[in-house]
Amino acid sequence: MLRGEIRPGDTMPSQRGLAEKYGLSRSTVREAFFQLEVQGLIDTRHGAVCRARNLLASHLDMPLEGVGDNPEFQLQVLEARAALEGEAAWYAAKRASDDELVALSQEYHRMQARSRTGETTLAKAKDDLRFHTMIAEASHHLLIISFSQIFYERYFNAIYGVLNRTLIRYGRYPDGIRAQHASIHQALQQRDSESARVAAQEHILYTRRQLEGVE
């Protein structure tokens, strides 16, 4: 969990599988799961799967007032995203597994293909966040992963609202975003952490400038 190999929301390995893998009794594994639940690290429901919890969720009561069409709040959300995603990209370039880089590359190419098919603004916003969520998860940084999940969930309306206001104003997807996604993707694939950080931050700050232009 601390290494981000089991991420918030992930299904935990089965107790039977763990017992067999490590040559332990089921009661030993069951006790370990009980201790994890007592510590608030996992969520177990009778008859359902056991999942890793987001450790920050119970500690962050992030305000929802002012989201959506409030441009001042949208600017603040973008400023926070620039810092968050810059660090996520830096760590992802350092720590992502080869399989995670392959998955990121596949998602990047799917996102580019979908953007040429006349997607709705809502679909574009979801595609963008899916790509950035995968980068956060590839950071193997527990706090970045946990905060990203909460941040994107709570403020999706504001993130979507930024893109929607820009499209209404200019009538098209901002010209620089496609190239910025390419720069982030390239830096990650090359494991160039500093370039990944700069590209991710510039991507968000560019969108912020677009919103300022709308205003």
Structure tokens at 160: 């979507």
User: How far does Cα 16 stand from its chain's mean position?
Assistant: 31
Residues 98 and 178 in one domain: yes
**92 with 190, same domain?**
yes
User: Is there a single domain that holds both residue 82 and residue 35?
Assistant: no
For residues 30 and 129, membership in a common domain is answered with no
Output the pLDDT for position 126. Answer: 87
Give the residues across from 51 on adjacent strands. Answer: 11, 43
What does the block give as tokens for 199?
């590209």
Q: Which domain holds residue 30?
A: 15-52
42 strand-pairing partners: 52
For residues 97 and 173, state if they share a domain. yes
- Total structural domains in the chain? 2
3 in a structural domain: no
Q: Are residues 93 and 186 in the same domain?
A: yes
Number of Cα atoms under 13 Å in the Cβ half of residue 158: 23
Do 29 and 109 lie in one domain? The reply is no
State the Cα–Cα distance between residues 173 and 206, nearest whole angstrom. Answer: 12
Claim to verify: residue 182 and residue 106 sit in the same structural domain? yes
- 3-class state of residue 137 by DSSP: helix
- What token pair was written down for 59? 């500690």
User: Is residue 82 assigned to a domain?
Assistant: yes
In a domain, residue 131? The reply is yes
Residue 128 maps to which CATH number? 1.20.120.530
CA atoms of 90 and 94, how far apart (whole Å): 7
Asked whether residue 206 is domain-assigned, the answer is yes
Q: For the chain of 215 residues, list the mean pLDDT of each consecutive stretch of 10.
A: 87 92 94 90 79 82 61 83 96 97 95 78 84 95 92 82 74 76 96 97 88 66
In this prediction, residue 153 carries a pLDDT of 85
Residue 153 vs residues 93, 167, 199: alpha-carbon distances, Å: 24, 22, 23
Domain match, 106 and 210 both: yes
45 domain residue, yes or no: yes
Q: Are residues 120 and 77 in the same domain?
A: yes
Q: Do the domain assignments include residue 61?
A: no
Question: What residues contact residue 73 under an 8 Å CB cut-off, 6+ apart?
Answer: 66, 67, 158
Q: What is d(CA 104, CA 99) in angstroms, rounded to the nearest whole number?
A: 9
- Domain shared by 42 and 117, yes or no: no
Is 139 domain-assigned? yes
Residues 36 and 100 in one domain: no
